[in-house]
Structures are given as C-alpha cells and as structure tokens.
Structure 1
Amino acid sequence: MSGFESRDLGLTQSGGGCACCSGHASAQAAPAAVAQPAVVAEYLVEGMTCGHCVSSVTEELSELSGVGAVDVQLHAGGLSKVTVGSAAPLDADAVRQAVEDAGYRLAPVS
C-alpha cells in the first residue's frame, strides 16, 4: 500500500454534469448550433507544400467578406483542394487575389 488514502472529492459526474455544476440549468443546455455557409466553392491551388502554406492560404481567404470556413486538403507538390464556405458567392478575382497574396496561384479551370 502506498500510504495515501483515496477520498471522493465530489468531482465525479452525476446527473449530466460535474458535481459542482450538476444543479445548474446551464450545465444541461445543448450546445449552440453552428451556422452552415450558404455557398460552398472548391478551388485547386498550385504550389502548396506544407502546413505553413495551408495557414497562409486559409488566412488570406478568411479575410474575404462573408467567408465563414476554409478547409484545405494539402497535396504537397500537386494541386491542393481548397473548400471555401461563404454567406454569398465570392468574386472570382477576389479569391484569385487572396490566393496570390498568400504566395500561390489558382490552377486553371479545364
């Protein structure tokens, strides 16, 4: 035996929350709904090779008005797929400029 005594400190979950919060209504509340973007567009970006590239493109695209989400599927050395969720359709020139400001370029649409 280690010489330490185990005691219940009342921090265990009971009734849907921890012992200190289980009596509060807020501990039982459902998580807030996340708004879904109205428009989702996909782009192919050339030249991305690492996580820093992903961060740069994500940051620039996120600054465009109405953009709520940016997801990048990195394909190092190839064409990376960039999905942008926004409240309304984005101006193609603004998207191209944001990607170029990050140091990359959109792949030509074939």
Structure 2
Amino acid sequence: MRLLLVSVLLLVGCSVQQQDQLAREAARAAITPVLAERFPGVPLDPTLDCVIDNANSVQIRALALDSVTGPTENTIQIVSDIVSKPETLTCLAAEGLPALLR
C-alpha cells in the first residue's frame, strides 16, 4: 500500500506524457510473467512491445495497478484480450515471429 501511495504522489508531479510512460513501464512488469507463463518460448521484448502498443489507456492503467499487487486473473484476461486483437496479432507476426526465427 505504501508503494502505491508513493507511486501516486510521484505521478501527480509528472506531465501527461511522463505519466503515460510510467504507466506503460509498470504495465510491462505485470504483463511479463503472464506472457512467460502463457506463451513459453515467445520472445518477450517484441511481444511486450506489441501488447503495450495495442492496449488502450484503461487496460494500461489496470495493468499498471496489477504490477503493484502482482498478476491476477484480471491481468491474464486483459493480456488475453489485447493479444487477440487483430492489430496485436499483426504486430506479433511482423515483430515477434522474426525474433523467434533468429
């Protein structure tokens, strides 16, 4: 809880762009274990980029909050929803698959 309070206080002094970047970084922390467990062997960095880039702001905020408590069933559902978007699948095909084939 203390970490959450400190995070909120830090965000208050940030610009909207800085807040977005911090939320995206926090969301990455929640997404990483989900991808590692659900999609073993998939290159994490390009996959994370595709998921983050195709998440909407509500999803980013929810995932950022999940980074404080750790992944939950909600985290898994949000990541699954993002991964199944056509634009995420296109990104994964363009960015993730080539990394896997290297």
TM-score (structure 1 length as normaliser)? 0.30
TM-score (structure 2 length as normaliser)? 0.31
Higher relative contact order (CA closer than 8 Å, sequence separation 6+):
2
* Structure with the greater alpha carbon radius of gyration: 1
